[in-house]
Structure 1
Amino acid sequence: MVDKITANEILERLRTLKPELEERYALDRIGIFGSVAREENRPTSDIDIVVYMPPDLLKRVRLKAELEKLFGREVGLIRYRDSLNPYLKARIDREAIYV
């Protein structure tokens, strides 16, 4: 069984890894949102992560795989952009916690 992971644990890991992620993926910002950010997640919940990075599908796929390996669970990775669905964008704007 997978243990529940807290927002603070995720943010600490991301904070530690951020310099490497910035270099490898041209990442500007990274944060969490959704059930984990609201501390409503369960042991089986995915981790919703928002990133500010250039539109490079291959890098985004690699980053998602790296984060899933790091956290040992599925990651929902969203690249924040102007054309993002307005409802999702508003939710991210309201909930996101950045490192």
Structure 2
Amino acid sequence: MSTQSLTRDEAIRRLLSIEAEIRRLGVRRLALFGSVLRNEARADSDVDLLVEFIPSEKTFDRFMALADLLEETLGHPVEVVTTEALSPYIGPHILAEATDVLRAA
């Protein structure tokens, strides 16, 4: 993993560079939130991502493949959460902050 912090712009650039691979895994929408989005990340920060799968494409294997692909591409640990798994307590805050990198197609 990287020893440098990741900026919002660099994270978005890297994610867009693998859009086709992400879409092949059944991803409808991918959004960034948290410290990287706010440009407050440190070298040891993870990258927080909100994902929405096409319902018929959502499997555990695809979720894990996506997490692996994102970590490899971003060079940092990732925390991937699905829209369905959002807590009723923190979910509204995440949804308010999340910025789409890949919009629902």
Instruction: Say if 2:35 and 2:41, in contact at 8 Å, map to a contact too.
Output: yes
* Structure 1 stretch displaced more, 2-11 or 54-63: 54-63
Q: Give distance in 2, aligned partners of 1:4 and 1:61.
A: 24
Residue in 1 aligned with 2:99?
A: 97
Aligned residue among 50, 59, 62 for 2:62: 59
Which segment is superposed worse, 38-47 or 85-94?
85-94
CA distance in 2, matches of 1:65, 1:20: 12
What is the identity, as a one-letter code, of the residue corresponding to 2:72? Answer: K
**C-alpha contact 1:67 1:75 (8 A) present in aligned 2:** yes
Q: Displacement of 1:20 after TM fit?
A: 2.2
**What is the one-letter code of the residue matched to 2:28?**
D
Alignment of 1:25-40 (within 5 A): 25-40=25-40
CA-based RMSD: 1.5
Q: In the comparison of the two structures, how many residue pairs are matched?
A: 97
Q: Structure 1 stretches (4+) deviating beyond 6 angstroms?
A: none
The TM-score, its normalising length taken from structure 1, stands at 0.87
Unaligned runs of 5+ in 2: none
How far, CA to CA, are the matches of 1:41 and 1:6 in structure 2?
A: 7
Question: Normalising to structure 2: TM-score of the pair?
Answer: 0.83
For CA contacts below 8 A with separation 6 or more, give which structure has more relative contact order. Answer: 2
Q: CA deviation at 1:26?
A: 0.9
Aligned residue number for residue 75 of structure 1? 78
State the identity %: 31
- Asked if structure 2 preserves the Cα contact closer than 8 Å seen for 1:38 and 1:95, the reply is no
- Amino acid aligned to 2:5: K
**2: CA distance between counterparts of 1:27 and 1:56?**
11
